[in-house]
Structure 1
Amino acid sequence: MLSPIDFIQDLLNPDLGFLPKALIIAVMSSIVCGVIGCYVVLRGMAFIGDAVAHAVFPGLAVAFVIQGNLVLGGAVAGVLTAILVAVFSQNRRIKEDSIIGVFFVAAFALGIVVISQAPGYAGSLQQFLFGSITGIPDEDIYTVAITGILLLLTVFLFHKEFVAVTLDREMARSTGIPVFVLDLVLYVMVAIAIVISIQTIGNILVLALLITPAAAARLLTDRLGLMMLLAPIIGGSSALVGLYVSWSFDLPVGGMIVLIATAVFLLAWFFAPRHGLLMNYLRRRAQPVETASPSPTPGPRREAADSSAPHVEESVLR
């Protein structure tokens, strides 16, 4: 296995200029996805994230065919699809997940048709689906950096409103918060966060970068502020370690980043201080077992004694 010192030397090697660019974009996109993914996890929007990940594909394909900016093309397609989903979801006769299913499959199919018209169709499709660390142009670093800063600034500006909608949509709507507009803004943010991550990790795996670090952070803390700090740390660290392992063993970088993030999630699932499986098991073992002593005299006096007995909360037994 390549030593960390050798890996650092490769990062500084001018002949391997694509490697530090891949690391920078992977870490930056992981940080952005980690923050936005907290809202996605708390609101149970994983399916929407998957839909948006597929919806950006036709924009990427069009940009590739016309030799345009991939980030811009994917962002436009993702935003248009997000608007369509938000608008069509207002018809309550068809549930939101059905609308999402219709549009994301149609968008992905459109992307397949568009990119099939490009020369080198098979190689281009593989690059979009699974990512590529060798084809990242220099200007994409600036695009991802500026886009990420704008997304984080939007999170800062609308954080209270996002939290209110996440906790209780109807209550937020009754207090005058524009729930529809905030949903639309969040969909657009998810779309853009996914676009800036696709080049490194690929269209198929990009959802993991949005969900897995935030889900692991959710297991580690009950505080949203701390969760939004832990999620990008987990995502950025997974990107760094995943790239290091993939470069050492010549493995797909996107797959390794996802596997590292999943390993962190599994560790949190088993060993989280409050919500881990191990701590819950130890807590149940430490719970004293109380045996009720039978009363010798039946009747009203016994019923009174039963009603005054200590009550064990159901949540403690879970």
Structure 2
Amino acid sequence: MHWLTEPFTTDFFLRALLGGALVAVICGVIGTWVVIRGMAFLGEAIGHGMLPGVALATIMGAPAVVGGALSAIAMSALIGALQRRGRLSYDTSIGLLFVAMLSLGVIIVSHSRSFATDATAMLFGDILAINEGILLGLLLAAIVTVAVATLLHRSFVAAAFDARIAATLGLRPHVAQLALVALVTLAVVSSYQAVGSLLVVGLLLAPAVAATPWASSIPVRMVGASGFGVLSVGMGLLCSWYAGTAAGASIAASAIAIAAISNATASLATWRRRSSGISQETAPRPLSVLLSGKQQ
């Protein structure tokens, strides 16, 4: 049995597991809204928008996460500015900035003598190098994420389902949209160390997708997504340990596999219930019910 418990006897594995679990909570909460609002492209764009800042910080010897955070914030601000001008559609603005920031990041990091190493770390992360300082930052990010998602839950729900009603109710949908973009930026930046800018979208989307068939409300979906995310981190790290694969990629692949299994299981269960003559059709819930959090 020693080979089963061996990974858990090493400090770096336990730090990676704890750090990955915190990332899973952050991505589970925010990823639920990313899936509901159809913001997957935004998450990926912000992830690539980090690259110029990370590249500059790496070359200058500054903390990479600081440079990445500043660059991601700039990316979010540019997307908002282009959208407000109204001359380009939302997805077109994101697409143009996506390519521009990715290209700029690669150009900057190409001047580094350790180009291959730096690029790999930026794109795929290095979760096994997580230390106590990074763990503290992830803990603070998780607390902020849960707190903001709780305080603005009604605004997020109203803005997602009917922005006009949200404005009528005084829930300020524009503020909710800005807050949601800020949370997506926080999730991408905080997840950078674990899975890198390229694979972070996997943790944002896959656990939320896995939880969707089993959730009766948005808060339950968030809890389920966080749980599936923690499971993905554990499975990915164990696969990386025993198979010698890249940790970040193994975590992202595990998350996607779990999402596929979850949805396949839910589809099978639905088919079996329907074949037994039990109807699964339910009436749509009105916005007032969703805002109150009550179930019908």
Shorter-normalised TM-score: what interval?
0.7 to 0.9
Q: Which residue of the partner structure matches residue 110 of structure 2?
A: 116
Q: Which residue of the partner structure matches residue 192 of structure 1?
A: 186
Q: Which residue of the partner structure matches residue 39 of structure 2?
A: 45
Q: Deviations over 1:257-316 (max 9, x none)?
A: 1222122211221222xxxx213323443449xxxxxxxxxxxxxxxxxxxxxxxx9x9x
The alpha-carbon deviation at position 114 of structure 1 amounts to: 1.6
Q: Does 1:282 align with 2:293?
A: no
Q: Which residue of the partner structure matches residue 291 of structure 1?
A: none
Q: Distance in 2 between matches of 1:67 and 1:60?
A: 10
Query: Mapping of 1:74-223 within 5 angstroms?
Result: 74-223=68-217
Q: How many residues align?
A: 281
Q: Deviations over 1:34-90 (max 9, x none)?
A: 111111111111111111111112121122122222222212111121122122212
Q: Which residue of the partner structure matches residue 259 of structure 1?
A: 253
Q: Does 1:73 align with 2:43?
A: no
Q: Distance in 1 between matches of 2:126 and 2:231?
A: 19
- The secondary structure found in structure 2 opposite 1:202 is helix
Whether the 8 Å contact between 2:8 and 2:14 is mirrored in structure 1 is no
Q: Which residue of the partner structure matches residue 222 of structure 2?
A: 228
Q: Distance in 2 between matches of 1:64 and 1:183?
A: 32
Whether the 8 Å contact between 2:127 and 2:248 is mirrored in structure 1 is no
The alpha-carbon deviation at position 196 of structure 1 amounts to: 1.4
- The secondary structure found in structure 1 opposite 2:88 is coil
Whether the 8 Å contact between 1:79 and 1:187 is mirrored in structure 2 is no
Q: Which residue of the partner structure matches residue 294 of structure 1?
A: none
Q: Distance in 2 between matches of 1:137 and 1:68?
A: 16
Gaps (5+ residues) in structure 2?
284-296
How many percent of aligned residue pairs carry the same amino acid?
31
Q: Distance in 2 between matches of 1:215 and 1:134?
A: 26
Q: Which residue of the partner structure matches residue 269 of structure 1?
A: 263
Query: Of the two, which has the highest radius of gyration?
Result: 1
After superposition, the Cα gap between the structure-2 partners of 1:92 and 1:222, relative to the gap in structure 1 and judged at 3 Å, is farther
Gaps (5+ residues) in structure 1?
12-16, 289-312
The alpha-carbon deviation at position 181 of structure 1 amounts to: 2.5
Output the TM-score relative to the length of structure 1.
0.82
Whether the 8 Å contact between 2:215 and 2:221 is mirrored in structure 1 is yes
Query: Mapping of 1:16-35 within 5 angstroms?
Result: 17-35=11-29
RMSD: 2.2
